Amino acid sequence: MKRYLLLNGPNLNRLGQREPDVYGSETLTDIEQSLTELVESYGCKLASHQSNHEGKLIDWIHEAEGNYDGIIFNPGAYTHTSIALRDAISSVSVPVIEVHISNVYKRESFRHTSLLAPVCFGQVVGLGSKGYKLAALAFLQE
Q: Is 100 in the site for ligand DQA (CB under 6 A)?
A: yes
Rank residues 39 and 114 by Cβ distance to ligand DQA and give the closer one.
114
Question: 4, 23, 78, 132: which is the annotated catalytic residue?
Answer: 23
- In the set 11, 48, 81, 90, which binds ligand DQA (CB under 6 A)? 11
| Spatial distance between the Cα atoms of 38 and 126, rounded to a whole number of angstroms | 20
Whether 112 sits among the annotated catalytic residues: the reply is no
Whether 100 sits among the annotated catalytic residues: the reply is yes
Q: Is 101 in the site for ligand DQA (CB under 6 A)?
A: yes
Q: Where are the alpha helices (DSSP H) in the chain?
A: 20-23, 28-41, 54-64, 83-91, 130-140
Q: Which amino acid is at 138?
A: A
What is the pattern of x (binds ligand DQA, CB under 6 A) and - over residues 51-90?
Answer: -----------------------x-xx-x-----------
DSSP 52-92: S-HHHHHHHHHHHTTT-SEEEEE-GGGGGT-HHHHHHHHHS
User: Could you give the residue numbers annotated as active site?
Assistant: 23, 100
